[in-house]
Amino acid sequence: MADIIEHEKNESLRREEAAARLHEIADQLARHNEITFVQGGRDVTVSVPDQVELSVEVEVGEKSEIEIEISW
C-alpha cells in the first residue's frame, strides 16, 4: 500500500502574490509534468499524468472564493 501524503497550506497574501503562486504551480505542471512542495522540511515531488480532470468553482457571497482542483 502506498503512503498517503496530504499537504495543506493556508496563508494570507496580496492578490498579486496569490496570482504569482498560481503561475508557479502552472509552470511546474507545464514544464515538468510534476509539482514539488516542502513537507516536513523536505521536498516532495508528485508526478502528474498527461490527462487530468480540472474543476473550477466560483462562489460569490459574504465570503467569496475560487476553488481550483486538478485530479487524476
pLDDT band at 21 (very low <50, low <70, confident <90, very high): very high
Give the domain ranges of the chain: 15-71
Confirm if 48 and 34 have CB atoms less than 8 A apart: yes
- Residues with Cβ within 8 Å of 32's Cβ and at least 6 positions away in sequence, in order, are none
pLDDT surpassing 60 at residue 3: yes
CA distances, 14 to each of 17, 18, 19, 22 (Å): 5, 6, 9, 13
pLDDT surpassing 60 at residue 54: yes
Predicted local confidence at residue 1, as pLDDT: 55
